[in-house]
Amino acid sequence: MRRRLPIALAWLFACGAPAGPTAGKRLAASEGDERAARASTEATLAAPEPDRGMGAPGLPALGPSDHVALDEAACLARVAELSLPVTQTPHDAVEGALVIEGPVGGVEWIFEGRREVHRVMDCRLVLALHAWAPALRAVGVRKVRHLSALRPAARVRSTGAPSGHARGLAVDPRFFERDDGTVLDVLEDWSWRERGAPPCDPPLDEPEASATLRQLVCAAIDADLFQVVVTPHHDDAHANHVHVEVVPGIDWRWAR
């Protein structure tokens, strides 16, 4: 069984079961009130259910963002307008190369490694992380520790094509640290990882830590913040992290 809830059942939970004949007398509504109530109910049931992906409880809906379409100048101007804590770090392979130096939307992004070059991100990736922050903060995530962003000359293992990492357009988060000090680790806590299964359609009995990680990632997928997302469902190379990547100039997305 999966998480999606049929519309009729959801309406029943919200409104309650119809009263039986022993419920007692009700005050008679006017004919106009009855028509209005009936029209309102019919409109509610007829309206299409919004596409909420997993319908992650408690997560805010992430609004659309135009960060992918911005050129370098426009992106850097947006970053300056938002007063994001970044340092410009010019790099031949990266447009609007930046290094994050503090919380972005209330969330710190920390590189778990030694080579400073792996901290460098394309400006558009920084804006995507800023757009993701409301969902992260909604579950108390205040710090994300990642394995790398820019990796010059990186290539996709299966195809040999240039990776988003080669241009600073991708980052690999692993650890999500919350306000209470608990840490969600993709390697340890992403428990349901059936190979090839859709990452945003898990079983109902998924443990809380795993469900939270998945909801965070799927909220970003639903909002189209990243055009390529690779999870532990895809292969062993992604067993300990989630690859999130901004891909300019396309009209599709790929999540596995």
In a domain, 183, yes or no: yes
Looking at residue 85, its amino acid is P
- pTM to 2 decimals? 0.75
Whether the Cβ atoms of residue 151 and residue 171 lie closer than 8 Å to each other = no
Q: What share of the chain is helix, strand, coil (3-state, %, to 5)?
A: 35, 15, 50
Q: What is the model's pLDDT at position 156?
A: 86
Average pLDDT for consecutive 10-residue bins of the chain (256 residues)?
Answer: 34 34 35 40 31 48 76 95 96 96 97 91 97 96 97 86 94 97 96 88 89 94 94 86 93 86
Q: What is the model's pLDDT at position 8?
A: 32
Surface-to-core class of residue 206, CB atoms within 10 Å of its CB (0-12 exposed, 13-18 middle, 19+ buried): middle
Q: Which residues share a beta bridge with 184?
A: 176
Q: What is the model's pLDDT at position 236?
A: 79
Q: What is the model's pLDDT at position 131?
A: 95
Whole-number Å distance between alpha carbons of 254 and 256: 7
Q: What is the model's pLDDT at position 21?
A: 36
- Give how many domains the chain has, as a whole number: 1
In a domain, 149, yes or no: yes
In a domain, 6, yes or no: no
Q: Which residues share a beta bridge with 2?
A: 203
Which residue segment(s) compose the domain that 179 sits in?
67-255
In a domain, 232, yes or no: yes
Q: What is the model's pLDDT at position 148?
A: 95
Residue 77: CATH number of its domain? 3.30.1380
Q: What is the model's pLDDT at position 166?
A: 96
Measured over the CA atoms of residue 18, residue 20, residue 25 and residue 31, the dihedral's sign is positive
Q: What is the model's pLDDT at position 238?
A: 83
Q: How far is CA 65 from CA 47, 79, 213, 224, in A?
A: 26, 13, 22, 8
In a domain, 25, yes or no: no
Question: What length is written for the chain?
Answer: 256
DSSP strand pairing (183-185 vs 243-245)? unpaired
In a domain, 46, yes or no: no
Q: What is the model's pLDDT at position 246?
A: 96
In a domain, 236, yes or no: yes
Q: What is the model's pLDDT at position 14?
A: 34
Surface-to-core class of residue 27, CB atoms within 10 Å of its CB (0-12 exposed, 13-18 middle, 19+ buried): exposed
In a domain, 60, yes or no: no
Q: What is the model's pLDDT at position 44?
A: 30
Alpha helix segments (H runs only) across the chain: 7-15, 31-46, 72-82, 123-138, 186-189, 208-222
